[in-house]
Amino acid sequence: MDQLDLFADAEEIPATFTARPAAAPRPAAVPAPRPAPAPRPVVAAAEPDSLFPDPRPELPAVQTPIPARRGVTPLLIGNHRDAGQRLGEAVAETWHASNWGGYRMDIPVSIVAALALFPVKGRTADVTRIISTCTDWELLQGYREIYAATWSRRPDLGARMAPLMGWLTEDDVEEKAYAVRRVTDTALKYGVLQMTGDPDPWCRSDTDLMSWTITSLRSHGARQGLGEYHTPPELCDMMARVLVDEPPEKGKWFHDPAGGTGGMFRALAQHLRHLHVDPADYRWAINDLDPLAAASAAVNAIVWGLGPNVVVSCGDALRQGDVVDQALRERAVLIEERDEIVSRIAVAEAFEQAIRLADRLMAGPTAA
């Protein structure tokens, strides 16, 4: 199936992944570096434009020195919670085995987060094939576009994900392509899309991949220094059942001032679904002192379908006290800025269309 047709009816799909032409037959595996990819095709007017104005044209010249690729075959994952732990451990092992090592744990966490946020749901096999066979340029650009698309939909949560996005703007990002490729393949192999790619948020909320990934990457000493102790999911499930024994009134606030990546909210959201109510009908406020954990909580809020009324803050709730109120004020400003940017883009596009129409009219009937 041609992948342009595959995503023809999808909304807000990363343009890099959708615009690629069908892959040509690949040569037999050889140890030589892959050739530079062909020039990128112009996306048809009906397709969404890239959300990044600068496609970094120098990047295609850099290629991972690995044999020709045939895609990734995911493992049978079984129980999602056990699979989540295995994925986190495998990603950490792959990352530490690369030349970049553990001091940049934001990169592997960002990769798992971006794959979990991939906007196409319900087509796991096709998405796995596309991501695992794309070029290095397309992989890095695709990750940029996933985060940009997330920001366009949820600017408040997108801004909180800033610690996960910084590496994609660094000048030496192409030098990380080999390690990024290995982590991506590992995450795909261990089922990141099987656990986060279902259209139903109920099925996407069985495990906290972000927690397992951070826990596996961060040393025991670092976790102690941050006071970071991720609550076991079974304990979270029990606490959710004890705290909420009947459907709460719609619009109720749920607060977690030291929520980490949101494991307690995951359990509570699933419990609400068991009570036949939608978590999106409630309001959620989560805070954590660690920016990477808070960024991961923002990712999880989208993956788990907590709805539009989610506030994620990052700060010392004991000293500041008003971190939620501050986050609410920041959210209003960020949404206003997003709307202004989108409005300017729409005006610019309308102006360009008007100019093209005027040129055709001035050229007369022979222009066609």
pLDDT at 92 over 80: yes
Model confidence at 213, pLDDT cuts 50, 70, 90, reads: very high
pLDDT digits (tens, 9 = 90+) for 98-134: 866 557 899 999 999 999 999 999 999 999 999 999 9
pLDDT digits (tens, 9 = 90+) for 133-190: 999 999 999 999 999 999 989 999 999 999 999 999 999 999 999 999 999 999 999 9
C-alpha neighbours within 13 Å on the C-beta side of residue 270:
22
Give 229-238 contacts, CB < 8 A, sequence gap 24+. 230/260, 230/261, 230/263, 231/260, 231/263, 231/264, 233/81, 233/207, 233/208, 233/263, 233/266, 233/267, 236/263, 236/264, 236/266, 236/267, 236/268, 237/267, 237/270, 237/271
What is the per-residue pLDDT for 352? Answer: 77
The mean pLDDT value for 281-299 works out to: 95
The mean pLDDT value for 34-49 works out to: 44
Model confidence at 27, pLDDT cuts 50, 70, 90, reads: very low
Amino acid in the structure at residue 48: P
Find the farthest-apart pair of alpha carbons in the chain and give their distance in angstroms, rounded: 76
pLDDT at 204 over 90: yes
Model confidence at 32, pLDDT cuts 50, 70, 90, reads: very low
Closest CA to 241 of 212, 274, 285: 274
What's the chain look like in SS3? Answer: CCHHHHCCCCCCCCHHHHHCCCCCCCCCCCCCCCCCCCCCCCCCCCCCCCCCCCCCCCHHHCCCCCCCCCCCCCCCCCCHHHHHHHHHHHHHHHHHHCCCCHHHCHHHHHHHHHHHHCCCCCCHHHHHHHHHHCCHHHHHHHHHHHHHHHHHHCHHHHHHCHHHHHHHHCCCHHHHHHHHHHHHHHHHHCCHHHHHCCCCHHHHCCCCHHHHHHHHHCCHHHHHHHCCCCCCHHHHHHHHHHHCCCCCCCCCEEEECCCCCCHHHHHHHHHHHHCCCCHHHCEEEEEECCHHHHHHHHHHHHHCCCCCCEEEEECCHHHHCCHHHHHHHHHHHHHHHHHHHHHHHHHHHHHHHHHHHHHHHHHCHHHC
Model confidence at 19, pLDDT cuts 50, 70, 90, reads: low
Model confidence at 78, pLDDT cuts 50, 70, 90, reads: confident
Mean pLDDT for the chain overall: 80
The mean pLDDT value for 51-61 works out to: 41
Percent of the chain with pLDDT over 90: 54
In terms of pTM, does the model score above 0.85? Answer: no
Q: Which has the minimum average pLDDT: 66-80, 130-144, 237-251, 286-300?
A: 66-80
Model confidence at 42, pLDDT cuts 50, 70, 90, reads: very low
Structure-token pair, residue 187: 């995450």
Q: Which residue has the higher pLDDT, 297 or 26?
A: 297
